[in-house]
Amino acid sequence: MFHHNSRPKLPPSEGAGSSVMVDLRAVDKFYTSAAGDFHALKAIDLQIEAGEFVSIIGRSGSGKSTLINMITGIDRPTTGEVWINGTPIHQMSENQMAIWRGGNLGILFQFFQLLPSLTLLQNVILPMDLAGKYAPRERRARAERLLDAVGLAEHKHKLPSMISGGQQQRAALARALANDPPLIVADEPTGNLDSKTADTVFALFNEQVAQGKTVIIVTHDSGLAKRSNRTALIADGELVNEYVAKALATLTFDQLLAASHKVKPRLYEAGAIILAEGRNSDAFYIVSKGTVEVVLPRHNQSDVVALELGPGKYFGEMEFFHERRARASVRACATCAVEVLELTYDQLNELLGQSELTRDTLRKAADAHEEEHRGREAEA
């Protein structure tokens, strides 16, 4: 999950646990040019668990390539920390970084970067030679297995120039997997591929995730990004709150960033009432941690839980469009604390004034919930 400057600054081994693969902490990156300092990344806090498939999405110039360069160690933060699988790579020398990268990281570049004078087989063997991770006699057999896995066994003795772009990308993926890295990072991996070949590459990523690898891809294509387990939106060097992005998916990147700045996190203990039936509501809520229960009162009977809402789901839109009076209570689930992100109705109205599509989407959701509510009242 993404964190926004809220975690104690402990090494992952002491804090977040061994399942954290990528942990960026308060990362800022400035570039100095003749025109002055450019603030490319702003207070980035990002945590990715082992075995996740995450897309980093943003427009050109949003900071997504700089962000990926922090994760791969190709670039260094101006301030902040970068931990990969428990290792503080921001503290490494260039030599240490090169050795670490060879054994821990598979990188897939947009333009493949296969060495043109080597065959596909030699391209895949090369990382193993450099890292010395496998015995020399094992390397060729492993490279052949990897090329077979990406459907290129019959092309192993060809030079990159003799095969198509899609085949080159698959060869580059085999090379990225050569040293069995726990983390695979791909920059616009399908940017130069037709849709069918892009599907093949995505299927290969999913296979790696199924085997427990962590895969991070950078893309500007929101359609492709939706095929990963989770999406990180970056705009103007800042991460958009992922739960705001899920709940209000029809806002533009800039509008989502503005909404991320406006929301206020509210914490509720297990079982606490967030919105009481019969009371006037004055805010729209997005669930960010835990589960909330929508509870309908029933005359002379125990209350009934009509709905459970998890992270990225929202409530309060029915009251916004229908009389402001809550028709049901909303509470934190009985066994878990809950965090919700609060937008006042004035703030929500301002956002919806900039996006008629989002207003229509929320109004339709509110109308549908109103109909459901009336149906449940009739049943009761």
According to DSSP, the β-strands at 329-332 and 273-275 are antiparallel
- Residue 162: CB atoms within 10 A of its CB come to 12
234 domain residue, yes or no: yes
Number of domains in the chain: 2
H helix or E strand, kind and range, residue 319: helix 317-321
Residues 265 and 210 in one domain: no
The first and second tokens of residue 107, run together, are: 């990188």
Greater confidence (323 vs 32) lies with: 32
Report whether pLDDT(11) > 90: no
First to last CA, the chain: 39
Distance CA 86, CA 84 (A): 5
**Residue in this structure with the two tokens 């835990």, named with its chain if needed:** 290
Report whether pLDDT(184) > 90: yes
- The pLDDT, as a whole number, for residue 202 is 85
The average pLDDT across 255-260 equals 92
Among residues 184, 208, 239, the one where a domain terminates is 239
65 domain residue, yes or no: yes
Greater confidence (4 vs 122) lies with: 122
Q: What is the CATH number of the domain that holds 161?
A: 3.40.50.300
- The pLDDT, as a whole number, for residue 5 is 40
- The pLDDT, as a whole number, for residue 221 is 76
> Could you give the 3-state DSSP secondary structure of residue 348?
helix
Residues 349 and 217 in one domain: no
- The pLDDT, as a whole number, for residue 7 is 37
The average pLDDT across 343-371 equals 92
Residues 233 and 329 in one domain: no
Taking 3-state DSSP, the helix, strand and coil percentages for the chain, each rounded to the nearest 5, stand at: 35, 30, 35
Distance CA 290, CA 337 (A): 6
Residues 64 and 197 in one domain: yes
Q: What is the pTM of this model?
A: 0.81
- The pLDDT, as a whole number, for residue 28 is 96
Query: How many alpha carbons lie under 13 Å from residue 294 in its C-beta half-sphere?
Result: 19
Query: Which region among 280-294, 320-334, 356-370 has the lowest average model confidence (pLDDT)?
Result: 320-334
Report whether pLDDT(6) > 60: no
The average pLDDT across 313-325 equals 88
The average pLDDT across 146-171 equals 91
Cα–Cα distances in Å, from 26 out to 58, 59, 82, 259? 19, 22, 9, 20
Q: What is the CATH number of the domain that holds 310?
A: 2.60.120.10
Most confidently modeled range among 100-109, 225-234, 279-288: 279-288
Distance CA 230, CA 243 (A): 11
Q: Is the dihedral angle over the CA atoms 318, 322, 324, 328 positive or is it negative?
A: negative
Cα–Cα distances in Å, from 129 out to 104, 132, 149, 227? 15, 5, 20, 34
pLDDT tens, residue by residue, 92-124: 999 999 889 888 999 988 777 899 999 999 999
The average pLDDT across 310-322 equals 92
Residues 220 and 139 in one domain: yes
- The pLDDT, as a whole number, for residue 24 is 96
pLDDT tens, residue by residue, 51-75: 999 999 988 888 998 999 999 999 9
pLDDT tens, residue by residue, 320-336: 998 777 878 999 998 99
Report whether pLDDT(8) > 60: no
354 domain residue, yes or no: yes
Do 273 and 329 touch, CB atoms closer than 8 A? yes
Residues 233 and 321 in one domain: no
Report whether pLDDT(301) > 70: no
Burial label for 34, CB within 10 Å (0-12, 13-18, 19+), is: exposed
Residues 99 and 203 in one domain: yes
Tell me which residue range forms the domain holding 342.
259-379
